[in-house]
Amino acid sequence: MEKTTLINPASAGYPAIVIGLSESANSHPIDLELTELILLLATLGLKVAARVVQKNHRLSPAHLIGQGKIAEIRALALAHQVRLLVFDHVLTGTQQRNLEEMTGCQVLDRAGVILDIFAHHAHSSQAQTQVEIAQLHYLLPRLTGAWTHFHRQAGGGGVTSRGMGEKQIEVDRRRARERIARLQKRLEQVRKEKIVQRKSRQNELKVSLVGYTNSGKTTLMHGLTRSEQHGKDELFATLDTSVRVIDPARKPKILLSDTVGFIRKLPPSLLESFKSTLDEACNADLLLHVVDISHPDFREQMEVTESVLSEIAAKDIPTMVIFNKIDLADDPFLPRILKRRFPDSIAISSLHSTDLRRVREHLFAFFQKKFHPLYLKIAVTEQNSLSLVYNNCVLQGVFYQGAYAFFSLQAPERIYVKLQRFVITEQDFQGELSDEPNAH
Ligand SMILES: Nc1nc2c(ncn2[C@@H]2O[C@H](COP(=O)(O)OP(=O)(O)OP(=O)(O)O)[C@@H](O)[C@H]2O)c(=O)[nH]1
Ligand SMILES: [Mg+2]
């Protein structure tokens, strides 16, 4: 299926200009942000001819930056055959329109670029629906002439142009809202199915990978679950949630899920419409916060992830920080420094099997700490409870006596609650055991 994009396809093959604002004379932070924006554009196959920074300027509600800067950008655009200007700063519909008129180029902000990447990477129907809702929310205040390409791609009948006046814009807005409502209904259905799916996994221990985009979540997921696929050096390579068992041979099973990455200035509409994808993380028993330690900006990336987690109501879930890509860091003391500053963290390379083993051990140890040691007596007819014991507990001793099975085991909290009625004392267990000649 052809993807609907915000960037006018006519801009393909031409370079873009990126523009950032700096509140202080120090342009270091904005340089890093613009570098990231250039990476985002590269993900879409777009090259950047120039980066422009406006320093210390009072923001204009009409066109964000000053007239002089706009003239400078227009000249650069002409010199490099630029058709697209991308602002790192959020633009209002009015600012976007005015800037387009003043420069003759299509104008987009960072959110628009992120939305296009999501549109390109959305493969499942759930991801596609979520992206389209976010795109329409982004477009609603911007429905004017410059966006007719979007209507055509999306198969919309409305061909709004500046000359056609308010009426056509209203019609287009209504159409967009109706489409959003239809898509949301579809998404609600998917969400219900996911809830049923999650219910079927309610007895398992669940771990979710979260973190900044490109930090290595997918690579770690495949390393930990020993599957062959690998991550891609691409921003927002993953848009869906996938769930796998960490070590099928070990009980209780631990399920690991990988999901969409975060980035600064993530468009709110995107976060909102990706809620059902992010539900998996919200339902985890433990989050693995994956951080690319080789990135110069890793501290801010951690903060962005933490703030997104609190937005999706996942900040109270226990979290283990994984400093990934340690193989790319040249400071041999770094793991020790990190451990001192972040005592619950581990520094690893997802490419090294010894490190992957260490992460697995950490995970099992994290859960094991919370297990309840128990002795149980269960009638052999209680099939459901027996299956809970065999699939979801760590067995230490088992024997059968007449119509009963006896267990010494460790159980996770939620399984303990379900098996409570079978609990016996250690003395009773030992007493039965001494009567049983074949006990082991
Ligand atoms: N050198 C090195 N590269 C790594 C490591 N972990 C991941 N990578 C690379 O980093 C890039 C991004 O990895 P992914 O696993 O796709 O990252 P992600 O967090 O899933 O990214 P998104 O799905 O885009 O959010 C890939 O090129 C990986 O090969 C590591 O420990 N060391
Ligand atoms: Mg990924």
pLDDT at 366: 93
pLDDT at 31: 86
pLDDT at 238: 80
223 lines ligand 1 (CB under 6 A): no
Evaluate the CA torsion angle 249, 373, 431, 389 in order and state its sign: negative
Nearest ligand to residue 220 Cα: 1
pLDDT exceeds cutoff 70 at 155:
no
2 versus 13: the higher-pLDDT residue is: 13
Domain 9-121 identical in fold to domain 372-435: no
pLDDT tens track for 183-220: 999 988 888 888 888 888 888 899 999 999 999 999 99
Query: How deeply is 278 buried, as exposed, middle or buried, from its count of CB atoms within 10 A (0-12, 13-18, 19+)?
Result: buried
pLDDT at 301: 95
Report the topology of domain 372-435.
Alpha-Beta Plaits (3.30.70)
Amino acid type, 12: A
Q: Ligand 2 center to residue 184 CA distance, Å?
A: 25
Average pLDDT over residues 30-38: 91
Q: Please confirm whether the linkage preceding 335 is cis (ω < 30° from 0).
A: no
- Strands, sheet with 16-22, edge to edge from the N-terminal-most edge strand: 48-55, 16-22, 84-87, 106-109
59 lines ligand 1 (CB under 6 A): no
Structural domain boundaries in the chain: 9-121, 137-198, 202-368, 372-435
Supply 92's token pair.
């209002």
pLDDT exceeds cutoff 50 at 159:
no
d(CA 363, CA 361): 5
pLDDT at 157: 46
123 — pLDDT class (breaks 50, 70, 90): confident
Supply 21's token pair.
């604002």
Which homologous superfamily is 202-368 in? Answer: P-loop containing nucleotide triphosphate hydrolases (3.40.50.300)
Q: Ligand 2 center to residue 436 CA distance, Å?
A: 53
Supply 398's token pair.
């088992």
H helices of 155-164, where? none
- Provide the Cα torsion 60, 63, 67, 71; round to 10°: 150
**What's the DSSP call for residue 283?**
T
pLDDT exceeds cutoff 80 at 168:
no
Tell me which residue has its CA closest to atom 4 in ligand 1.
325
CB 240 within 8 A of CB 126: yes
Report the topology of domain 9-121.
Rossmann fold (3.40.50)
CB proximity list for 261: less than 8 A, separation 6 or greater: 211, 212, 213, 214, 215, 217, 235, 236, 238
231 lines ligand 1 (CB under 6 A): yes
236 lines ligand 1 (CB under 6 A): yes
pLDDT at 409: 96
Nearest ligand to residue 210 Cα: 1
Tell me which residue has its CA closest to atom 16 in ligand 1.
231
Tell me which residue has its CA closest to atom 21 in ligand 1.
214
pTM > 0.85? yes
166 — pLDDT class (breaks 50, 70, 90): low
Atom number in ligand 1 closest to CA 326: 31
Atom number in ligand 1 closest to CA 324: 31
Amino acid type, 50: A
238 lines ligand 1 (CB under 6 A): yes
241 lines ligand 1 (CB under 6 A): no
pLDDT tens track for 262-316: 998 888 888 887 887 888 888 899 999 999 999 989 999 999 999 999 988 888 9
Tell me which residue has its CA closest to atom 26 in ligand 1.
233
217 lines ligand 1 (CB under 6 A): yes
pLDDT at 161: 47
pLDDT tens track for 318-374: 999 999 999 998 888 888 899 999 998 999 999 999 999 999 999 999 999 999 999
Query: Which residues have C-beta under 5 Å from ligand 2, the single-atom ion?
Result: 217-218, 237-238
pLDDT at 27: 67
pLDDT at 114: 93
325 lines ligand 1 (CB under 6 A): yes
pLDDT tens track for 44-101: 999 999 999 998 778 889 999 999 999 999 999 999 999 999 999 999 989 999 999 9
Nearest ligand to residue 230 Cα: 1
Nearest ligand to residue 291 Cα: 1
261 lines ligand 1 (CB under 6 A): yes
349 lines ligand 1 (CB under 6 A): yes
263 lines ligand 1 (CB under 6 A): no
pLDDT at 154: 57
Average pLDDT over residues 3-8: 83
